[in-house]
Structure 1
Amino acid sequence: MAVLTDEEVNSAVTKLDGWEHADGALRRSVKFPTFLDGIDAVRRVAESAERQDHHPDIDIRWRTVTFVLVTHSEGGITDKDVQMASDINGIVGEV
């Protein structure tokens, strides 16, 4: 799988509400109404990640959950990361 160029990533980010291209990864922080809402979203993202065998880095700070996507095995952002970002948007949009 090919690593996307910065131009390709920046173009993809324009279609990914809430995401940014920073420090060589795709990042999005979401503030949930309650801690348990955030945990539930993380669980649903984890289920999707398992199905796709592509796992985001996830940081939980009370009601704020940060998702970070980069294909570590390829050394950069790939189409798998862009797709996972889109999937995460669909999941957190359900909260």
Structure 2
Amino acid sequence: MPRPPRLSPDAVATALAGLPLWSGDADGLRRTVELPGFRDAVAAIVAIADVAEELDHHPDVDLRWRTLHLSLVSHSAGGVSELDLELARRIDALLP
């Protein structure tokens, strides 16, 4: 199945307006989430992993005690694609 193409900087900027918890540009999206404790952060990673597997698109996740640093980029597209935006939306639904 072909992967979606890289989005233009303008398309990413427009999409980010609807994703206020995320920052970034056409090269990648980022979000930091602070959870109540370490186990909550690990549980969030497991929930994100389930969604990532559904989409066959996987984020970079950095866990620091109870803080998650999330990065989304479509390496095959060389930047942000529609898959990254969909994963960001799904993560926001899991971690409002």
Scaled to the shorter chain, the TM-score interval is over 0.9
Determine which of 20, 24, 30 is the counterpart of 2:23: 20
Structure 2 gap ranges (5+): none
Q: Distance in 2 between matches of 1:29 and 1:22?
A: 16
Is the Cα contact below 8 Å between 1:17 and 1:89 reproduced in 2? no
Verify: 1:58 aligned to 2:61, yes or no: yes
Structure 1 gap ranges (5+): none
Shift of 1:48: 0.7
RMSD over aligned Cα atoms? 1.2
Count of aligned positions: 93
Please state whether the residue corresponding to 1:45 is helix, strand or coil: helix
TM-score when normalising by structure 2: 0.92
Runs of 4+ in structure 1 off by over 2 angstroms are none
Instruction: Describe the superposition over 1:2-47 as per-residue Cα deviations: whole angstroms up to 9, x where unpaired.
Output: 2101111011011013100158210000000111111101100001
